[in-house]
Structure 1
């Protein structure tokens, strides 16, 4: 070893300084006066109320919207049900008009059929009425229709499809005894200017 030691001397930090670096500042907690704590709670309560108000408004708007939608759907269903009943009643009445005919009063009967029809069926009946009239006159035919049963197949507010079961009692010059014909008829009724008219009549 050399006589002269060139290493720098090791400096040791005092123990007090080390403790100061590693020990957190543990200053005593300062207690708040009761009136300060009370004021803070009041401020928090006010803030909570302000936040709650928009939530209540949103819930109220949603509830109103849902209630309005459900009310609209109920009104729509009620309107469709009412249309179905009206269309069914009109179809039953028109079926009797269509199947009741008297060769002595053909003008009256044909006018009634045309008055209760529209669209496709009215056009078809108008085209064939001349031939039908001659056939009824030649045979001195009469017919009386009776609806045994009827039911709605489909319905909207302006169109109702009805299925009817009809008996038609027919007499003519060749057959003295009345004959009963059984028919199943499907009729489409449409709302035109406030009236339910037959737009299609056929045997399914």
Structure 2
């Protein structure tokens, strides 16, 4: 067999297979990166909305406000939050007429996959007790989310 036959029947088909595999791998990488970017965007939005909901309430609607926030949580964090709100926050807010308002001036995705994400949030919270002067505080929280039934839910909430 001459060199032309070798190139025609061995090298060119082998090169075609390698190029096809490389193109497939690059396409898979592109799709994975795009999915992670979408997950990052969606999870940061869910972390932001959920954090505002769980840290904001008014004394006349505190029970309704914080019970509604529970729909944004899952797992042990949901259990701990439920216990804390019913034993401490709701009675305290009603008794002392506490108004809490949270805003998120900045948030970023730390990591995200199709079912698990971590976001870093900068939180501003203003609290007013009765007719007192409002006090403001800032904090940073690491919010871990899990995707449950196609919804991003907060599974951990850790001050940094």
Same fold? TM cut 0.5: yes
Report the counterpart of residue 81 of structure 2 in structure 1: 125
Gaps of 5+ in 1: 1-43
Deviation at 1:92, TM superposition (A): 1.1
The structure whose RCO (Cα within 8 Å, separation 6+) is larger is 2
Report the counterpart of residue 51 of structure 2 in structure 1: 95
Gaps of 5+ in 2: none
Q: Please point out which of 157, 164, 169 is paired with 2:126.
A: 169
Deviation at 1:186, TM superposition (A): 1.3
Q: Please point out which of 49, 53, 69 is paired with 1:113.
A: 69
Query: How far apart, in 1, do the equivalents of 2:110 and 2:142 lie?
Result: 9
Q: Does 1:59 align with 2:28?
A: no
Report the counterpart of residue 140 of structure 1 in structure 2: 97
Q: Is the 8 A contact 2:121 2:141 kept in 1?
A: yes
Deviations 1:127-185 (A, max 9, x none): 22221211111111111111111112222222111111111111112x52111121211
Q: Does 1:189 align with 2:122?
A: no
- Structure holding more strand per residue: 2
Q: Does 1:151 align with 2:108?
A: yes
Between structure 1 and structure 2, the one with the greater Rg is 1
Root mean square deviation of aligned Cα:
1.8
TM-score (normalised: structure 2) = 0.90
Deviation at 1:68, TM superposition (A): 0.3
